[in-house]
Amino acid sequence: MNKTEYMEMGEKNILHVYNRYKLVLEKGEGVYLYDTEGKKYLDFAAGIAVSAFGYNNKKYNDALKDQIDKLIHVSNLFYNIPSIEAAQKIVKATGFDRVFFTNSGAEAIEGALKLAKKYAYNKKGSNDYEIIAMNHSFHGRTIGALSVTGNSHYREHFMPLMPGVKFAEYNNLDSVKELISDKTCAIILETIQGEGGIYPATEEFIKGIRRICDDNNIIMICDEIQCGMGRTGKLYAFEHYGIKPDVFTTAKALGCGVPVGAFVARGEVADAMVPGDHGTTYGGNPLACAAVSRVYDMFESHEILSHVNEVGRYLEEKLEEISKEFPCIIERRGKGLLQGLALKKEKSAGEVINKAMDNGLIIISAGGNVLRFVPPLIITKENVDEMTEILRKSL
C-alpha cells in the first residue's frame, strides 16, 4: 500500500482523537526516521521526549529480545526479576525509597495523587482533602490527571472532574500561599512545564513550595514525565534546585519506547499504601522493566548526563542565535535538551512545523504557538547544526 492508502485505513479504523501529520513513519536509525516512501527526517521530537537513544539501538533492542524469549508477563501476584532490578536501580540513582511501576505517565499521576490522599488519611483520618495544581499545566488525559491539568481546553468537555482541586499561578508563590488550608494534602507541579509552553520553575518558586510543604505537612509531587530522565542534564530536573519532592512521577524516556511509567516516593510517604490500596495488571511486567533496567545501564555506560550538558548548551546557543535573527520569535525557553521557541501570533507554529517536515526535520509544538525541541539525548553538535540549517530555511 502507498502512504495515502495507509492514512485512509487509519482514519477509517482508529478513533479520531489526533490530527496527525500527513506522514507514515516506517523505520528509524540513530536520530533519523524514514517514511514509507523512503524519505529521511532528522528527528527533534523523539516520540515526544521518549526515544532517548534514538532508533534501532542494538544494546537496547537486545535486552528486549532476550526478555521476550524468557518471560513477557506474569502479573503482580508474583515477583519477577526485571522489576526488582529496575526498581533497585531507580532507588539507588535517586535516593528515594520505593517505586510503583505503571503503564503510562497519566497512570503514574493517578497513583501519586492516591498516595498523597492515603498519606493524609493515615495522618488525620478524613477524606475531605484538597490538592493545589498549576494553571497551564498538563498531567495527562485520565480523569484524575485531567483534574489537576490547569488548561480548560483539555477539561471543558469532561466535567465534573475530581473535586477538591485548586489552581495557582506557576512561578507565583503568593498565589500558592493564598490557596493553602488545613484541607490541603498535596501540591503538584511540573518541574518544567512542557505542554504549557516550556516554562522552567524559578528557584524561588520551587524552593518556596518545598518550604510550604515542610511547614504544613503537605505532600510535594513533581511531575517529571517529560523533563526527567536526563533531558535537562540532571537525571531529574528537580536536582537543579537542590530540593527533593516527596513523590515524583516518571515515564516517557524511562522505557525509551516501551510503555512504562512509575511514581517514586521517599520517607514515610513511601509506606502510606498497603496491600489492596493500589494495583495494575500490566504495570511492572518483565518486558517493560527489562527496558527500564537497560535504559538505566545505558545512561551510565554512555555518560548521558555529561553528553546532554555539553550538547544542550550548544543547542541553547544555536536557538538563541536563531531567535535574534528572526523577528517572529519572542524568546527561547528551556533547559538542556528540552527547548522551546515562542513565536508571535502572526507566525504559526503549525506552518513552520509542516515546512520543516517538507525539508526533512521533525519538530513539534507546545503551549499553543511554541516550537518544541526534544530530540533523542544522543544527538551530536553536528545534528544540531543540521537542524538549525533546516529550521532557518523553514522559518
Higher pLDDT, 126 or 304: 304
How many of the other CB atoms lie within 10 Å of CB of 1? 10
* Pair 7, 22: CB distance under 8 Å: yes
pLDDT, average across residues 83-106: 98
Angle of helix 381-394 versus helix 304-325 axis, rounded to 10? 30
- Cell numbers for 331, please give them: 524568546
Kindly give, in sequence order, each residue whose CB lies less than 8 Å from that of residue 102, ignoring residues fewer than 6 positions away: 108, 110, 111, 251, 260, 261, 262, 263, 280, 283
The alpha carbon dihedral of 274, 280, 281, 282 has a sign of: negative
Q: Which residue has the cell 524511562?
A: 254
Query: What percent of the chain shows pLDDT beyond 70?
Result: 100
Task: Quote the pLDDT of residue 101.
Answer: 98
With 90 as the cut, is the pLDDT of residue 367 above it?
Answer: no
Find, among 126, 241, 124, 137, the residue nearest to 188 by Cα: 137
Predicted confidence band at 117 (pLDDT cuts at 50, 70, 90)? Answer: very high
Mean pLDDT of 178-206: 97
Q: Do 304-368 and 59-301 fall under one CATH topology?
A: no
Read off the pLDDT of residues 142-181 as tens digits, 9 standing for 90 and up.
999 999 999 999 999 999 999 999 999 999 999 999 999 9
User: DSSP state, 234?
Assistant: S
Instruction: Using DSSP bridges, classify how beta strands 130-134 and 40-43 pair: parallel, antiparallel or unpaired.
Output: unpaired
Q: Is the pLDDT of residue 289 over 90?
A: yes
Cell of 155: 477539561
CATH classification for the domain delimited by 59-301, as one of 3.30.70.980, 3.40.640.10, 3.30.70.920, 3.30.450.40: 3.40.640.10
Which grid cell sits at 69? Answer: 524469549
390 close to 360: Cβ distance less than 8 angstroms: yes
3-state secondary structure (DSSP) of residue 287:
helix
Q: What is the pLDDT of residue 225?
A: 98
Strand 370-373 with 364-366, pairing: antiparallel
What integer pLDDT is reported at residue 128 of this predicted model?
A: 86
Task: Give one DSSP letter per residue of 325-337, joined into a string.
Answer: H-TTEEEEEEETT
Q: What is the CA radius of gyration of the chain?
A: 21
Span of 127-131, 205-209, 275-279 with lowest mean pLDDT: 127-131
CA distance 54 to 30: 5
Judge whether residue 384 has pLDDT over 90. Answer: yes
The predicted pLDDT at position 126 comes to 81
Beta strand 40-43 with 338-343 is: unpaired
The DSSP-derived string for 56-105 is --HHHHHHHHHHHHH-S---TTS--HHHHHHHHHHHHHH--SEEEEESSH
Give strand pairing partners of 219.
Answer: 186
B/e letters for 168-178, b = 16+ CB within 10 Å, e = fewer, are bebbebebbee
Task: Summarize pLDDT for 14-51 with one digit per residue, the tens.
Answer: 999 999 999 999 999 999 999 999 999 999 999 999 99
Reported as a single tens digit per residue, the pLDDT across 302-355 is 999 999 999 999 999 999 999 999 999 999 999 999 999 999 999 999 999 999
pLDDT tens for 49-69 read 999 999 999 999 999 999 999
Q: Is the pLDDT of residue 278 over 90?
A: yes
CA distance 337 to 46: 11
With a pLDDT cut of 90, the percent of the chain lying above it is 97
Helix (H) or strand (E) holding 265: strand 261-265
Segments making up each domain of the chain, as ranges: 59-301, 304-368
Instruction: Look up residue 171 and give its amino acid.
Output: N
Please state the separation of Cα 262 from the chain's center in Å. Answer: 11
Q: For the chain, give percent helix, strand, coil, nearest 5.
A: 45, 20, 40
pLDDT at residue 124, as a whole number: 85
Residue with cell string 495507509: 6
Give yes or no for residue 125 having a pLDDT over 90.
no
- Considering the entire predicted model, what is its pTM? 0.96
Gap between the Cα atoms of 99 and 137, Å rounded: 24
Q: Does residue 284 contact residue 78 with C-beta atoms inside 8 Å?
A: no
pLDDT category of residue 368 using cuts at 50, 70 and 90: confident
Q: How far apart are CA 343 and CA 334, in angstroms?
A: 15
Rounded to whole angstroms, what are the CA distances from 58 to 26, 54, 61, 71, 170? Answer: 18, 11, 5, 20, 41
pLDDT band, residue 197 (cuts 50/70/90) = very high
Average of per-residue pLDDT values in the chain: 97
Query: CATH assignment of 304-368?
Result: 3.90.1150.10
Classified as helix, coil or strand, 133 is strand
Q: What confidence score (pLDDT) does residue 104 get?
A: 97
